[in-house]
């Protein structure tokens, strides 16, 4: 039995397809409230750190204490060789923890987007499929020094790896129920200004999730076997 720690906002703690594939591979997870770092356990005996998305921003001064606590956790796990799988906000946090920079993007990416895989070793066999993948973010980041860029879009990096730490800007984990909840919770804050119709987004998602689930499960298998 392998042990994983999942760091998430209380309302965004569903690891979806990623969590399900990790369970298939023998991982038992403990959820950690991102806002309550004082209650987090030590990393001894931990086999994986999973950092999920958030409504917050890594460059948010009002949240600097909890941001830096999570950055220290990620940095410590990285130094200890504990594998890290980081998604969206989690990838931005991982970049910050390892010396990269996080900032507002030139424009938001919401909905199903293709990305550009980068495979420097074997261009015919990229680690990350081109998608389309679900995106929901308005921030971007730089790949830290010594990091390997694995995918990108016109907004910025979409996947990177440093040693046993791996981050993706897109959301491989989400199924239709999660997307429907995000759309309902949005209240027009981001979808409206981005010119996205919520009904069309849900219908597109209904058509895409089966394919994205297969890509997500492959990505987790690669991570477990290669990272």
Q: Among residues 21, 70, 173, 213, which one is catalytic?
A: 173
Q: Among residues 57, 70, 171, 208, which one is catalytic?
A: 171
DSSP assigned state of 169: S
Residues forming beta bridges with residue 168, ordered by sequence position:
87, 159
143, 169 Cβ separation under 8 angstroms: no
- Phi and psi at 30, nearest 5°, equal -120, 125
- Tell me if residue 88 is catalytic: yes
Q: Among residues 21, 70, 78, 88, which one is catalytic?
A: 88
Q: CA–CA separation, 108 vs 138, rounded Å?
A: 4
Q: To the nearest 5 percent, what fractions of the chain are helix, strand and coil?
A: 35, 25, 35
- Tell me if residue 171 is catalytic: yes
- Gyration radius from the chain CA atoms: 16
CA 58 vs CA 121, 184, 213: distances in Å: 31, 24, 27
The residues assigned a catalytic role are 88, 171, 173
């Amino acid at each position: 039995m392998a042990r994983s720690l999942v760091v998430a906002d209380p309302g965004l703690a569903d690891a979806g397809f990623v969590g399900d594939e990790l369970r298939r591979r023998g991982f038992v997870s403990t959820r950690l409230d991102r806002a309550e770092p004082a209650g987090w356990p030590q990393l001894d005996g931990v086999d994986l750190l999973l950092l999920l998305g958030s409504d917050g921003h890594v460059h948010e001064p009002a949240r600097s204490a909890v941001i830096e606590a999570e950055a220290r956790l990620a940095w410590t796990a990285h130094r200890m060789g504990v594998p890290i799988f980081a998604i969206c906000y989690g990838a931005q946090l991982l970049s910050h923890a390892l010396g990269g920079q996080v900032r507002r993007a030139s424009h938001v990416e919401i909905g199903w987007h293709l990305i550009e895989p980068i495979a420097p070793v074997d261009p015919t066999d990229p680690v990350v499929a081109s998608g389309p993948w679900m995106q929901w973010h308005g921030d971007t980041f730089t790949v830290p020094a010594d990091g390997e860029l694995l995918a990108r879009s016109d907004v910025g990096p979409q996947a990177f790896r440093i040693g046993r730490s791996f981050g993706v800007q897109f959301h491989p984990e989400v199924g239709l129920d999660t997307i429907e909840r995000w759309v309902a919770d949005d209240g027009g804050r981001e979808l409206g200004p981005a010119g996205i119709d919520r009904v069309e987004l849900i219908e597109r998602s209904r058509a895409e999730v089966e394919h994205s689930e297969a890509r997500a499960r492959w990505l987790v298998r690669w991570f477990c076997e290669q990272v």
